[in-house]
A and B are shown apart, each in its own frame.
Chain A
Amino acid sequence: GNSVTQMEGPVTLSEEAFLTINCTYTATGYPSLFWYVQYPGEGLQLLLKATKADDKGSNKGFEATYRKETTSFHLEKGSVQVSDSAVYFCALPSTGGGADGLTFGKGTHLIIQP
């Protein structure tokens, strides 16, 4: 099946710093790619997605570009805020078809200090 590797952290940054969280994947074909975020005590929320190569997903100032050449989907934000502190997960379908759920990275714990 498909797999994903992401930096685990914790990643500690100061407010207004630039953020990059690396994510690389191994997959058959070109599956959709997702970034989810989990705030303390909550479930996962979809942050952004890209459904084909070279697509750029964006939401709330976060961006990620689907790079098939480097099999990567790195998450970036130009200026982080304290409220961005959370755990971020890179994910893709476990196999084609959608019946096998998503495969998630281990998660990156992001801590933003004021």
Chain B
Amino acid sequence: KAGVTQTPRYLIKTRGQQVTLSCSPISGHRSVSWYQQTPGQGLQFLFEYFSETQRNKGNFPGRFSGRQFSNSRSEMNVSTLELGDSALYLCASSLAGQEYNEQFFGPGTRLTVL
């Protein structure tokens, strides 16, 4: 089975721009979660989607948004980029989004904001 894929792997943007990141989960997985990883804050939960519905969102401003398509693929969008948005963005999928389901992570998208 193919793993979680994320595109692009690397991205360089300037302040004020917007960016869209893509995640394809493992086939059959219906839950997709997004995380931001930075040296200072570590791994922080952004949001989780299950069957095209956002079930919850972490403590991030409204500039961060996402969606999930009927095939479970997910995108996240960051508008009006700030320098502090530079991070590794990780996507994870799980079978049914239950707390005991392990999450499988993609390689991440490294976003640099200049």
In the assembled complex, the Cα of A97 lies from the Cα of B98 at a distance in Å of: 6
Within 55-114 of A, Cβ neighbours of B (below 8 Å) are at 89, 93-94, 96-107
Of chain B, the residue at the smallest CB distance from A29 is B99
Interface of B is mostly: strand
A-contacting residues of B (Cβ < 8 Å)?
4, 6, 31, 33, 35, 42-43, 45, 48, 50, 55-56, 58, 90, 92, 94, 96-108
How many residues of A are counted as interface, with CB atoms below 8 angstroms from the partner's CB atoms? 26
Known contacts: A31-B99, A98-B99. The answer to whether A43 contacts B45 by CB under 8 A is: no
How distant is A38 from chain B, measured CB to nearest CB, in Å? Answer: 9
Residues of A within 8 A of B55 (CB): 99
In the assembled complex, the Cα of A101 lies from the Cα of B105 at a distance in Å of: 12
In the assembled complex, the Cα of A89 lies from the Cα of B100 at a distance in Å of: 17
Interface string of A8-35 (1 = CB under 8 A from B): 0000000000000000000000011010
In the assembled complex, the Cα of A45 lies from the Cα of B45 at a distance in Å of: 17
Residues of B within 8 A of A45 (CB): 105
Pair A101/B90 contact, Cβ less than 8 Å: no
Residues of B within 8 A of A103 (CB): 45
Pair A99/B56 contact, Cβ less than 8 Å: yes
Provide a sorted-by-A list of 25 A–B residue pairs whose CB atoms are within 8 angstroms: A31-B99, A32-B99, A34-B102, A36-B105, A42-B107, A43-B6, A43-B105, A44-B92, A45-B105, A49-B102, A94-B45, A96-B99, A97-B99, A98-B31, A98-B48, A98-B96, A98-B97, A98-B98, A99-B48, A100-B45, A101-B103, A102-B43, A102-B45, A102-B103, A104-B43
Pair A101/B45 contact, Cβ less than 8 Å: yes
Residues of B within 8 A of A96 (CB): 99
Known contacts: A93-B99, A104-B42. The answer to whether A46 contacts B58 by CB under 8 A is: no
In the assembled complex, the Cα of A34 lies from the Cα of B101 at a distance in Å of: 10
